[in-house]
Amino acid sequence: MSNKKIVLITGANRGIGFETAKQLGQQNNTIIIGSRKFSDAEDAVAKLKEQGIDAHGIQLDITKESDRTAAAEIIGSTFGKLDILINNAGVAPKDMLIKSVNVETTAEEFEWVFQSNFFSVVHLTNTLLPLLKKSSAGRIVNLSSSVGSLTLQAMENSPLAAFRTLSYNASKTSLNMFTILLAEELKDFGIKVNSAHPGWVKTDMGSADAQLEITDGAKTSVELALIGQDGPSGKFYHLGETVSW
């Protein structure tokens, strides 16, 4: 019997998402690339297929209900189930690495960041839950960040003091709460839900000043996607180590 898993990764046409797709595909899993533009998904799929990876592309702007519904319909009709959902897609204010904005954050920034990083992730996950429940070992990985850790942010001389952008950080704190509550809700279905902190990675979002290469940034998502029956759920991880909530 094949151990091949059906994997959907959002925002997977580049960066950490694409690297996650590549690493999971290299382990003989079927990869579904979700991207805002179908053409970008197709380009990513072509690159993966060149490496012998079983890959498929769908248009999936997670902020659009029509795209979320269509994605569930396509995955259901093509594969009949979904084994792994990696909620990788997300946004950050363009200037978050050069300023710390708190009480002055605009309503537009809050709405844009929370719509992409929290509300749409919740909506997409709920839309796909019927397919995940058809898996014998469903896995959900939410791409979070250590900047969403209340514990680390509240520390005296916090190591994250330079990374205090309210809209982005609060969206990741909210996502972590979703992880905790969803893990509890789904425990009787054998579905494990965890948050992943990829690290500060050299991507368009992370900048060239970041500490980690993209190959390392994908490792936590891959590990959590493939955890066994006795693995964790409702936890926050970075490269095998727990991160404080």
- Which ranges of 80-218 would DSSP assign to H, the alpha helix? 107-114, 120-132, 150-154, 166-186, 214-217
Question: What does the alpha-carbon distance between residue 24 and residue 7 come to, in Å, rounded to a whole number?
Answer: 8
Is 172 catalytic? The answer is yes
H or E stretch at 220: helix 219-225
Please give the order of strands across the beta sheet that includes 84-87.
55-59, 30-35, 6-10, 84-87, 139-143, 192-196, 236-238, 241-242
Tokens of 16: 């950490």
Question: What does the alpha-carbon distance between residue 172 and residue 83 come to, in Å, rounded to a whole number?
Answer: 24
Angle between helices 166-186 and 120-132 (to 10 degrees): 20
Cβ(57)–Cβ(65) below 8 Å: no
Instruction: Name the catalytic one among 5, 22, 172, 235.
Output: 172
Is 145 catalytic? The answer is yes
Residue 137 has a CB neighbour count (10 Å cut-off) of 16
Instruction: Name the catalytic one among 145, 195, 221, 233.
Output: 145
- Going from the C-alpha of 74 to that of each of 57, 71, 131, 171, 192, the distances in angstroms are 10, 5, 11, 29, 23
The catalytic site residues sit at 145, 172
